[in-house]
Every structure is written in structure tokens, then in C-alpha cells.
Amino acid sequence: MPSDGAALVGHIHKLLPEILHIFQFRENVEKALISSYKMMQEYDWEGSVYLNTNFPKLGKWLFGYKYEKSTSDKNRHCYALPEVTYENLVSKPEGTLSAVFDVCGISKLLIPEAVTALNRDSQAGTMLSRDKMAQVKNLELTALDRKKLNELVKKMELPESLFHF
């Protein structure tokens, strides 16, 4: 289900309680923003993309996070697992996959194969390959950018641990 589909989980759970739901998100907005920026740079857009596109997208991401998080919290009873974060999937793939496989009834013997698949560059040969993305210069947030973003995060009452710039 797409990330904006979390609002449907409660309804789907009522209609089809046998369907398992797992909520996954990325913890650190700055990393997600930089990742998004890197992808946009590969499309060879102008420098104005940063101001005209990144911040509206970041705002959408922040507001989307708040909405998705509150929706997932409200429907916590519908989820088969606590939140699965991208960071845990990358830093502790075996443990994270073990929990997901347990819930889904998938044999743990398949975890090594799943970890191998996670480590494979699914975008190899495209402009979004790991090699190409490594060549894109990281987005540099200015002190003023960071100040404004932190003010926005504070105003939105979002957790500082996730959204400190």
C-alpha cells in the first residue's frame, strides 16, 4: 500500500481482518530529503529545484508524516508488528526480517536470501543506481535553512528525535 494509504488500514482491517498490516517509514527526514534531492539531481533539473521543489516536498513529507503517524497510532491495533523502520531494515536486517517473517508465516530459512536481495542494487544499470547516486553531491542545508526547518518542526510538534535539522 502506498505511504498515503495508512488512512485505509482501519477500514481494510474491519472488512478483512485476516490481512496483515505492517507500517514502515524512514526515521530521519534529512536523510530522506537528501535522498530525494539526489534523485532530482539525476534528472538534471536547475538549481532552483532546491528552493522551489525540495521545501514544498519536505513540507508535504513533514505534514504527511504527522498525518500518517497519527493515523497509524490510532489504528495501532490493526498492525501485526510495531513500526518497521527503514533504518532498522538497513542496520539490522536479520532481526527486522525475522520479526516480519514470523508475522507473515515465512520460513526463517529464507532470511539469508532476503538479506542478499536487500543488498542487491535494484536500480543497477539505471540513472538511480547506487553508483550514480554516490556521484551526486549531497544537499547542503544552510544555517538559515536549518533554523527555519527546526522552527517548522517545533511548531508542528513533531518528535525532535526524528526531525532535528
The letter for the amino acid at 29 is V
Question: Sorting pLDDT into bands at 50, 70 and 90, what band is 84?
Answer: confident
Would the pLDDT of 113 be above 70?
Answer: yes
- Which pLDDT score, from 0 to 100, does residue 65 have? 56
Would the pLDDT of 44 be above 90?
Answer: no
Residues of the chain with pLDDT > 90: what percent? Answer: 15
The letter for the amino acid at 151 is E
Give yes or no for a contact between 37 and 29, defined as CB atoms under 8 angstroms apart.
no
- Which pLDDT score, from 0 to 100, does residue 88 have? 85
Residue with the bigger pLDDT between 50 and 107: it is 107
Domain count across the chain: 1
The DSSP call for residue 109 is G
The backbone torsions φ and ψ at residue 55, rounded to the nearest 5 degrees and listed phi first, read -70, -40
Range of the domain at 33: 3-163
Q: Is 25 helix (H, G, I), strand (E, B) or coil?
A: strand
Query: How distant is the alpha carbon of residue 150 from its chain centre?
Result: 19
Instruction: Tell which residue, 1, 41, 10, has the closest CA to residue 138.
Output: 41
Residue with the bigger pLDDT between 154 and 18: it is 18
Would the pLDDT of 134 be above 50?
Answer: yes
